[in-house]
Amino acid sequence: MKNLLIIGFTFPEPSTTAAGVRMMQLIDFFLSKGYKITFASTASISDKSVDFTSLEISTKEIKLNDSSFDVYIKELNPYIVLFDRFLTEEQFGWRVAENCPNSIRILDTEDLHFLRKAREKAYKTETSFENINLFTEVAKRELASILRSDLSLIISEYEMVLLENTFKISGDILHYLPFMVDKLDEKEIGRLPTFEEREHFITVGNFQHAPNLDAVIYLKKKIWPLIRKQLPEAQIHIYGAYVPTEVATMNDEKEGFLIKGWAENINEVLKDARVCLAPLQFGAGLKGKLFDAIKSGTPSVTTSIGAEGINGNFPFGGFIEDSIEKFVKASVLLYTKKDEYQTAQQSGFNILNKRFNSEEIKNKFGDKLGVIFKNIEDHRQSNFIGQILQHQSLQATKYLSKWIEEKNKLN
């Protein structure tokens, strides 16, 4: 049985974050291939972290800038090391390369952090996204991490195109791996609540994620008052973990703006809602909340950023609107017109079945890994820039880390 070591930025929380869902999908894939999995992290386990004992997955607490990791990974000798986001590759990639040079190093980017950060800065400075500056220090770090890895998993088609065309990263070291969704069958769809059985609007998102926090503030200040004016009996229910004080104080029963907090099963509350609102003004990757809404049969109104990478050439499962006026109009239309609602709902089901079919995506991923496993030396040789970066960064990071370790010992 082959060992897989996952170095997690955090322990996955699939009930609170799309990143947690993504990680569990990757874990399910490798379990199905017979891997013995160890999940290691410098983070603490929270009350919302997944229980790995039920999956027979080992956990390991690791430390930053500590040579105990070198001893540990030599003993484990993993066939694959999966880095959760580029930050963990920066911290531990050189140690893996030095102590287990034959291990396959895979980076799961989750989303491109430099793209999200650049968009956030552009939004806050009221700069057009057409003039966005992508060539930042964060971009240099993340792209270097991608180049050092044997394979990087990219969640969005948009980000694949950006990496290949703008930054000239070879497709040989990239793999498009979106959310994997089991095909929805007619019986499952038939059990969903009907248009008449649903009521109110809903929005979903972990509040530790800046785009989600901003979207709720945007809803409260600019969108909800206009919707409420046309639909005075409607409510919007705000769900998400880690609610900050500034959001908690927005709760307003009189205006139907209700802060509900964390839901253990977000799909259950989504099924009861008629329309999902996601006015995201910045962000990157695929938006898990919109996938959850589609699976629950709940049409959405979102922005171009929110819908990015989801529908491709297919009709979206709702409306994509960037202006406040059009966003409000689309929200009211979906909420009040059964035929529009049903059309949007069916479009969403079609997107999941045609573009995010779990079986097809897993087969392609398995094929890609098979090619790399058989030709790892040639694969690395063809990415010589990555070898250069591995050599240079290994030396620089190695001695900085050792300096920090010695300093910690003295303290």
Q: Among 31-45, 107-121, 384-398, whose mean pLDDT is lowest?
A: 384-398
- The answer on pLDDT for 407 being more than 80 is no
Structure-token pair, residue 258:
């209700």
- With bands split at pLDDT 50, 70 and 90, how would you rate the model's confidence at 395? low
How confident is the model over 11-61, as pLDDT tens digits?
Answer: 999 999 999 999 999 999 999 999 999 999 999 999 899 999 889 999 999
Q: What is the mean pLDDT of residues 169-190?
A: 93
How confident is the model over 146-163, as pLDDT tens digits?
Answer: 999 999 999 999 999 999
> For position 406, what pLDDT does the model report?
67
> For position 184, what pLDDT does the model report?
87
- The answer on pLDDT for 143 being more than 80 is yes
> For position 270, what pLDDT does the model report?
97
> For position 383, what pLDDT does the model report?
87
- The answer on pLDDT for 188 being more than 90 is no
Q: Higher confidence at residue 187 or residue 255?
A: 255
pTM: 0.92
> For position 195, what pLDDT does the model report?
97
Query: pLDDT averaged over the chain?
Result: 94
Q: Distance between CA 286 and CA 296 in Å, rounded?
A: 17
| Type of residue numbered 222 | K
How confident is the model over 274-313, as pLDDT tens digits?
Answer: 999 999 999 999 999 999 999 999 999 999 999 999 999 9
| Type of residue numbered 321 | E
> For position 391, what pLDDT does the model report?
64
Domains of the chain: 3-180+358-410 (3.40.50.2000), 186-355 (3.40.50.2000)
> For position 398, what pLDDT does the model report?
62
Are 94 and 105 in contact, with CB atoms under 8 Å apart? no
How confident is the model over 209-235, as pLDDT tens digits?
Answer: 999 999 999 999 999 999 999 999 999
How confident is the model over 322-347, as pLDDT tens digits?
Answer: 999 999 999 999 999 999 999 999 99
> For position 388, what pLDDT does the model report?
79
